Structure 1
């Protein structure tokens, strides 16, 4: 080869050498390993070498790099910076890990722009939230984990969560994610599905979600229905917390559904046996039983003898002595013993007496008391509430008058 040809080939070779720039993606061939700390690579098409620290290689922590990568392997690298300077153009710091991270950022950006979600495992619990591995480091603030306050974040460690991309800034390695948005979307979808299925009259199971003074909210699966305090039990309930606990499984009957307002009215007591259905088995005429005074009226006292079952002690059956109102001798909430005079479960009526358990006054005193009685309270008492017919009551008064004659 002539000298002219040699110069020509050298000139063409020099002209074919690409210039290495920071940020460029280049191909590097592994030439050697230096002190088990970095790989020496030749940058193809440049005639210069670069170094790739082991931490910049895409190898899992703890793995032996020299067993994963061999001399002669060729892979893509990104130019991080220039180190040193010599006639051949110097050496360059290269990274395989950062190149792959750049690809991940590009993919995440595309998903962000398309409104898509990503899935990532939680790798670390830190102050203020969770760290996830999305190919790059992502962060979920504590306020964006669930749609309610979470006290212990450690329960999420190791879990893979579906996440919405809230903020992305590759140049600052900032990726802010939210699981709360996913939870809310799932809850709304589940709520709509549940509301569409529910109908008045359905009997379903749910879990007590929260308690208030006026009732209990029961989770039916994405929808919370209200059991008003009056629908918890047949007996009077002062506070829902007296008989229910948060998290308790309960059976409820659907009273009404309003899909537009997302309101569901429920009843627990309507899933329970009707109290009056068991009265004839537990109570018979002539029985002496204990009860609680629930209400006092002008014509008598209503006494609860079984949960949800009240009987009437007419004012004439409270005492042998004349009383103007039941309040004179009874108080609401008082425990008393009564004798059963009549039982009519089908009419939800129970006639009771207190004076039947008391000793009668002597005959003279009885006549005097009877003479002083007025029949106004008897005449005004509603027949369906007393457990006695008006004829019975008037008959008793006539009999007393005959006795006096």
Structure 2
């Protein structure tokens, strides 16, 4: 508004003792949160400018001059929100999904991760006991970060799960970009956790080879048995 402009207001209070009249401009307008939820019901995709970053999440400026909040837990499916929030800065334009609108409390809850499907909701062939191919993302002292090929699942294989033989439990023998086979040893939808093990796969293959090609009790060495199994698989 500006000086000399005529506006319509609502009388809120008249104090004859103090000779004061309280007026309201917003009371003559529709509640902006009601207008927002009519145009953008729950499930809608919106875009807003990052107005502020806090320990709780992001505040986005939305259409209708209202703000919405993206909680840390709704920033990413795979990474902690405390890490992901560093990827955003004030002024960024961000797309999000409307999760909830509380008109009475004037609150709008938004989610960025909801723009993509939840990998744990539709895991495909990834389940406990399955054999998967993983790509090495990073090599650390205590193990390797990997991504299950063909999925959005990432996980950490600790040193003790890198091989059956203790001498081979060395993270440095792997390289970024290398692909390795492993066995899924945990898939917990509730805890949103998936774990794989190269060691578990080697142990399972060893047991299968002994079952198919003989046992060490019959006089064959483990090397003979595994050699036969490897040759059989190579021939196939």
TM-score using structure 1 length: 0.33
CA contact 1:164–1:179 (8 Å) conserved in 2: no
SS at match of 1:188: coil
- Which 5+ residue runs of structure 2 have no aligned equivalent? 15-20, 189-193, 200-220, 224-236
Query: Within 5 Å, which residues of 2 pair with 1:266-285?
Result: none
- Which 5+ residue runs of structure 1 have no aligned equivalent? 1-32, 42-49, 51-79, 268-381, 385-405
Distance 1:38 1:106 in 2: 34
The match for 2:68 among 138, 147, 153 is: 138
The match for 2:97 among 139, 145, 163 is: 163
1:107 matched residue in structure 2: 39
Query: Is residue 2:53 matched to residue 1:125?
Result: yes
CA contact 1:132–1:138 (8 Å) conserved in 2: yes
Distance 1:142 1:103 in 2: 26
Query: Within 5 Å, which residues of 2 pair with 1:121-270?
Result: 121=48, 122-135=50-63, 136-147=66-77, 148-151=80-83, 153-157=85-89, 158-165=92-99, 167-180=100-113, 185-188=117-120, 191-192=123-124, 195=126, 206-208=135-137, 216-220=144-148, 221-224=151-154, 228-230=161-163, 236-240=167-171, 242-243=172-173, 249-254=176-181
Distance 2:134 2:163 in 1: 19
Change (3 A) 1:162 1:210: farther
Distance 1:207 1:97 in 2: 61
TM-score using structure 2 length: 0.50
**Residue deviations 1:290-326 (CA, integer Å, cap 9, x gap):** xxxxxxxxxxxxxxxxxxxxxxxxxxxxxxxxxxxxx
Change (3 A) 1:257 1:173: closer
Deviation at 1:235, TM superposition (A): 10
1:44 matched residue in structure 2: none
Distance 1:153 1:206 in 2: 26
Distance 1:222 1:97 in 2: 50
Change (3 A) 1:260 1:81: same
| Structure of higher RCO (CA pairs closer than 8 Å, 6+ residues apart) | 2
Distance 2:95 2:69 in 1: 12
CA contact 2:183–2:198 (8 Å) conserved in 1: yes
Change (3 A) 1:164 1:106: closer
Distance 2:26 2:111 in 1: 30
1:39 matched residue in structure 2: 5
Distance 1:98 1:144 in 2: 32
Distance 2:184 2:55 in 1: 43
1:283 matched residue in structure 2: none
2:211 matched residue in structure 1: none
Aligned length, in residue pairs: 176
Deviation at 1:129, TM superposition (A): 1.9
Bigger Cα Rg = 1
- Structure 1's consecutive aligned runs of 4 or more residues displaced over 6 angstroms after TM superposition are 257-263
1:82 matched residue in structure 2: 11
